[in-house]
Structure 1
Amino acid sequence: MSANDETLRSVRVDRVAAGQYTATNPKGVTISLGSGDEAFSPVELLLAAIGGCTAIDADVATSRHAEPAGFSVTVTGHKIQDDLGSRMTDLEVTFRVSFPEGAEGDAARAILPRAVKLSHDRLCTVSRTVEIATPVKSTIVHEA
């Protein structure tokens, strides 16, 4: 599949103050990020994106059978510096999900492992991109 306008996704990141930024998507939704204690760091946003992507996939599949009683996803990893530069290693996604007792809850519990595996192996664009190691290109545009 080739890249085109239909496949294009984007966010804009604007500097608000020293070490503080706002990311805005095309829908106008914003999130704060930065290097201080008041916002998500870019690494935390990467972890949240991995967790959110796979959580959505698993939730869609399981909630067709039963509404979860509890649904939490934790993503961990180690930020290191080595010969390859600064990067994250040992990324791990942990699901803590509970469903009500009964046939519908049993069906949701039964499908959860398959849904998580399918998300990891095929569906979650974020974790798939990280695992495949898609190159990142930087461009500078000087504005007057």
Structure 2
Amino acid sequence: MTDKTLRSVTIERTGAGHFTATNARGGEIRFGTSSDPDGGADFTPVELLLAAIGGCTAADVDVATGRHSEPTGFTVTVTGDKISDELGNRMTDLAVTFSVAFPDGELGDRARAILPRAVKTSHDRLCTVSRTVEIGTPVTATVADA
């Protein structure tokens, strides 16, 4: 790893089942372990994974289509099923659905025309998050100072 390729976050426990992730630039996201509807609004780690998949490809598509026209609506929905089987807990049937609208006119028509290609290119080549999930990159877990 080099300074150009290394990405990192630090996660601190802030309470029972509550955590804050901090990036190298000082940005923070709070999350927790409760998926109980009454357990608070914090994202769960699985919801963060879904947001990362959708956010990565949304950013790619926004750059590509935004060169032509500002969207009048831009929503990305990411769904999946959390299962537990002989392989352990995991997500299956991950799906990313775009709902994007552009204004009438030549520029909106151009953005609409490239939207499917932009989504495909992000999925097939550009989105680091979904590419990593699909290809299957090993994760190493260690205990420091053990």
Residue in structure 1 matched with residue 23 of structure 2 by the alignment: 25
Q: Does 1:15 align with 2:36?
A: no
Amino acid at match of 2:26: G
Deviations, residues 28-73 of structure 1 (Å, cap 9, x unaligned): 0000111133310000000000000000000000010000000000
Q: CA deviation at 1:6?
A: 1.3
Residue in structure 2 matched with residue 93 of structure 1 by the alignment: 96
Residue in structure 1 matched with residue 63 of structure 2 by the alignment: 60
Structure 2 residue matching 1:76: 3-state secondary structure: strand
Q: Does 1:47 align with 2:50?
A: yes
Q: Distance in 2 between matches of 1:43 and 1:142?
A: 28
> For this pair of structures, how many residues does the alignment match?
141
Q: Distance in 2 between matches of 1:12 and 1:74?
A: 27
Mark the runs of 5 or more structure 2 residues left unpaired by the alignment: none
Q: Distance in 2 between matches of 1:73 and 1:120?
A: 13
* TM-score, structure 2 normalization: 0.94
Residue in structure 2 matched with residue 77 of structure 1 by the alignment: 80
How many percent identity over aligned positions?
67
Q: Distance in 2 between matches of 1:54 and 1:131?
A: 14
Query: Which is worse superposed, 36-45 or 22-31?
Result: 36-45
Structure 2 residue matching 1:5: 3-state secondary structure: coil
Q: Distance in 1 between matches of 2:54 and 2:86?
A: 27
Mark the runs of 5 or more structure 1 residues left unpaired by the alignment: none
Q: Distance in 2 between matches of 1:35 and 1:103?
A: 47
Structure 1 residue matching 2:121: 3-state secondary structure: helix
Deviations, residues 63-104 of structure 1 (Å, cap 9, x unaligned): 100000000000000000011100000000000000000000
Q: Distance in 2 between matches of 1:140 and 1:121?
A: 35
Q: Distance in 2 between matches of 1:11 and 1:30?
A: 9
